[in-house]
Amino acid sequence: MENTAFIALGSNIGNRYDNITKAIKRLTSYSEIQLVNYSSIYETDPVGYEDQDLFLNMVIEIQTAFNPMDLLDLCLEMEIELGRKRDIKWGPRTIDLDILTFNQENIQSEKLIVPHPRMLERAFVIIPLLEIYQDKKCSEINKLLEASLEELPNKEGVRIWKRKNGEDVFEPIGS
Ligand code: X6L
Ligand code: MG
Ligand code: MG
């Protein structure tokens, strides 16, 4: 498990919580993937295409033996398994799995760009990601994330929905 990746999850169709937890369970059912950390779940106003339902968004950190392309293929396969149809650009989806970072690598291929090119422009990504990085006390990236967040409008469009360490404890891989 030599690689560390951060993945953003989002859902705004059907049972959003079910979709997100199913995706995490399926991803981590592979022996090549281990869940290291996860954020709280946030309910977020849709961005880009606004005439759609509210999203649930969160970020997970994994350790993986997969290479970036195999991880991407697995994510796309899992999106289809969980019923994702791609019709409207930026439209509603049962599940969206975006690779945010893969180690410290810079990948510029046709299929995959990492770090995710728009991650620093999206409060629904930065806020949960900051939660996990704060746990790691990684101050350089924390500062970048905090500075990026400060620039963004509509941070109030990202509201805590299920707190990781709250009364209503969230169990992404079941008990
Ligand atoms: C100007 C123009 C500013 C476009 C921003 C931002 C476009 C984000 C697309 C943008 C712009 C996106 C989610 C979402 C989408 C999600 C929430 C996208 C692509 N995915 N809204 N919108 N959560 N809340 O996961 O991210 S579609
Ligand atoms: Mg996305
Ligand atoms: Mg995506």
Residue 123 in domain: yes
Residue 174 in domain: no
Residue nearest to atom 27 of ligand 1 (CA): 90
Number of domains in the chain: 1
Residue 59 in domain: yes
Residue 169 in domain: no
Residue 152 in domain: yes
Whether residue 86 lies in the annotated active site: no
Q: Name the nearest CA neighbour of 60 among 14, 107, 13, 26.
A: 26
Cα separation, 147 vs 73, whole angstroms: 32
Residue 170 in domain: no
How confident is the model over 37-76, as pLDDT tens digits? 999 999 999 999 999 999 999 999 999 999 999 999 999 9
Q: So what's the pLDDT on residue 141?
A: 83
Cα separation, 81 vs 52, whole angstroms: 22
Task: Give the active site residue among 98, 122, 135, 163.
Answer: 98
In this prediction, residue 154 has a pLDDT band, given cuts at 50, 70 and 90, of: confident
Domain hosting residue 138, numbered range: 3-162
How confident is the model over 13-38, as pLDDT tens digits? 999 999 999 999 999 999 999 999 99
> How remote is the CA of residue 12 from the centroid of ligand 3, in Å?
13
Give the pTM. Answer: 0.92
Q: What CATH number did the domain enclosing 131 receive? A: 3.30.70.560
